[in-house]
Amino acid sequence: MGKATSHFVCQECGTIFPKWAGKCDACGKWNTLVEEEIVSAEGPKSVSLKAGHHLNFVTLKGTSEQTFRLKSQITELDRVCGGGLVPGSVILVGGDPGIGKSTLLLQATAKLAEVVNKKENHTRCVYISGEESIDQIRLRAHRLGLTNAHIDLASSMNVRDIITSLDGPETADIVVIDSIQTMYVDTLDSAPGTVGQVRAAGHELIRMAKRKGFVLFLVGHVTKEGTLAGPRVLEHMVDTVLYFEGDRGHHFRILRAVKNRFGATDEIGVFEMTGTGLSEVPNPSALFLAERRGNISGSCVYAGIEGSRPMLVEIQALIAPSTGTAPRRAVVGWDSNRLSMLIAVLEARCGLTLGNKDIFLNVAGGLKITEPAADMAVATALISSLSQIPVPADMVVFGEIGLSGETRAVAQMDLRLKEADKLGFKKALMPPARTKKTERRTTIHIKEEGHLKGIVDLFIGGHNGNY
């Protein structure tokens, strides 16, 4: 039997199968297997051992040049990238269609074009769109007031053409490819957007970026489930993965680093979408709390940390008698398993009855919280809604809750308190801290609570949520 020349690749998860099947065994999706040519996976057949060069081994100690970073002057973007863009690095920007990726990158390149680069020249920015025509991009630039920006614009989908254009003597400093799903390599038969094409196009462009030393931005679309559609493979190939997220019903957008070889992950940048493009939000807490109405039960302000920044957000809970056989539990912006755990702890350790109630939880403004430190704030919102007693309007809450109902200290408590202080909050409900009270530099009145029962007593025990 001859050697197989093609195999089948799942377009969702990238798993390779020798035979076609209706369903991918790895991710369970239907109709996702597509035939692709096998491109010599093992590389050249036999490498003569003599052919290589000796590696030059060195010690960990030594002087290395400080990484040069191009600053886009969009502080929120620079911070997420670890303090600026590193030449030769590849940044994948993922996000839902219409969230504002093209707008962000056009604004960023316009700013970058004004910056002086390492070679003391003006930064050359190239923007290649496979999605929109030149006219459409010009229209957007007009709306953003960027018609005079020095950006080299082109509309193309062919990777061969792009590589040829960028290979000239006048190299670019920044290249934006919008989007990687529209690009194709003409040696492959599969359609643009398939795993094979995305991988091949990504590979070619990334190699070019490393060779020429320019910053490459790849735009990628995200599926409904929240993963980069098809090109999961790309996440491994690039240096930095940024997600641009937000709710189209809300005007603010969050740029989140999920992988970064040149900086911290979990760093976020906050933007607001306005009629004339994206504007930076230097003080997100004020924005997230702007629409808060005081004196309503079920609302609690959580003092969280996103990346290196403290951020205050409002958590809203609603508990209503259930009419159906199975009570409803709906969560927006938080982990639903975590909510189930908290409900169980409230029932088993604090004697509350929630089995016959519908429970809804919402993080106001559309922010997604992943920290377990939000437990106490969520529990407080739930207890407040159940007792119909409002949480004091000038109180913030944070802390983790364990399965026995005990509260646990979380990271960066002082930073959280400081931010709350800055925004005018007077009280904080938190777990017992390890730092001495005298070492704290806030004027906030702190209540340390060791068990969830204590919070229940604050509301149901006749204290009206006060201490």
* Minimum distance of ligand TYD from residue 200's CB (angstroms): 23
Given candidates 230, 269, 277, 405, which one binds ligand TYD under the rule CB under 6 A? 277
Q: In angstroms, what CA-CA distances link 84 with 46, 73, 364?
A: 43, 9, 31
Quote the CA–CA distance of 180 and 233 in Å, as a whole number.
12
CA angle 110, 112, 116 (to 5 degrees): 135
Q: How far is the CB of 179 from ligand TYD (least distance, A)?
A: 8
- What would the x/- binding string for ligand TYD be over residues 234 to 273, using CB under 6 A? ---------------------------------------x
- In this chain, which of 122, 140, 309, 329 binds ligand TYD, going by CB under 6 A? 140
Residue 103 C-beta: closest distance to ligand TYD, Å: 3
Please report, as residue ranges, which positions from 87 to 106 form the binding site for Mg ion (by CB under 5 A): 102
C-beta of 93 vs 452, nearer to Mg ion: 93
Q: Alpha-carbon distance 162 to 183, whole Å?
A: 10
178 vs 314 by CB, closer to ligand TYD: 178
Q: Does 101 bind ligand TYD (CB under 6 A)?
A: yes
- Token code pair at residue 264: 């911290």
Minimum CB distance to ligand TYD, residue 261 (Å): 24
Determine the Cα–Cα distance for residues 127 and 159; give it in Å rounded to an integer.
14
Number of residues this chain uses to bind Mg ion (CB under 5 A): 1
Sign of the Cα torsion 454, 455, 457, 458 reads: positive
Q: Which is nearer to Mg ion, 106 or 383 (CB)?
A: 106
Place of tokens 């999605």: 131
Nearer to ligand TYD, 73 or 276 (CB): 276
Site mask for ligand TYD (CB under 6 A), range 341-380, x = bound: ----------------------------------------
- Residue 275 makes CB contacts below 8 A (sequence gap 6+) with none
- Interatomic CA distance for residues 215 and 323, integer angstroms: 57
Q: Which structure tokens are listed for 289?
A: 């709390």
Residue with the closest Cβ to Mg ion? 102
Residue of 28, 97, 145, 351 that binds ligand TYD (CB under 6 A) = 97
In the block, which residue shows the tokens 């191009």?
70
Residues 177-196 that bind Mg ion (CB under 5 A): none
C-alpha 110/C-alpha 105 separation (Å) is 8
Rule CB under 6 A: choose which of 34, 144, 154, 258 binds ligand TYD. 144
Residue 94 contact partner, candidates ligand TYD, Mg ion, none, CB within 5 to 8 A by sort of partner: none
Q: Which segments of 12-58 are extended strands (E)?
A: 16-17, 33-37
Other Cβ atoms within 10 Å of 18 Cβ, number: 8
380 contact, one of Mg ion, ligand TYD, none, CB 5-8 Å limit per kind: none
- We find the least distance from the C-beta atom of residue 98 to ligand TYD, in angstroms, to be 5
Segment interacting with ligand TYD, rule: CB under 6 A, options 100-108, 157-165, 204-212, 231-239: 100-108
Residue of the chain from 72, 89, 102, 260 that contacts ligand TYD (CB under 6 A): 102
Closer CB to ligand TYD, residue 276 or residue 340?
276
Residue 137: CB minimum distance to ligand TYD, A? 10
Q: Whose Cβ is closer to Mg ion: residue 102's or residue 316's?
A: 102
Q: From the list Mg ion, ligand TYD, none, which binds 99 (C-beta under 5 to 8 Å, kind-based)?
A: ligand TYD
Window 436-465: contact mask with ligand TYD (x via CB under 6 A): ------------------------------
Residue 187 binds which entry of Mg ion, ligand TYD, none, CB below 5-8 Å type-dependent: none
- Measured in degrees and rounded to the nearest 5, phi and psi for residue 118 equal -60, -35
Whole-angstrom distance, CA of residue 169 vs CA of residue 157: 22
Measured from the CB atom, is 230 or 277 closer to ligand TYD?
277
CA distances 127 to 54, 76, 113, 203, Å, are 40, 21, 11, 19
Lay out the sheet containing 277-280: strands in order across: 151-155, 125-129, 174-178, 215-221, 90-95, 240-246, 252-260, 268-274, 277-280
**Residue 99 sits in the site that holds ligand TYD (CB under 6 A):** yes
Nearest-approach distance from CB 173 to Mg ion, in angstroms: 22
Joined together, the tokens standing for residue 355 give: 């089995």
| CA–CA dist 441, 214 (Å, integer) | 45
- According to DSSP, the β-strands at 309-321 and 299-306 are antiparallel
Structure tokens at 351: 């004697």
**Rounded-to-integer distance, Cα 229 and Cα 300, Å:** 36
Q: What are phi and psi of 211, to 5 degrees?
A: -70, -45
Which residues contribute to the site for Mg ion (CB under 5 A)?
102
Binding residues vs ligand TYD (CB under 6 A)? 95, 97-103, 140, 143-144, 273, 275-277
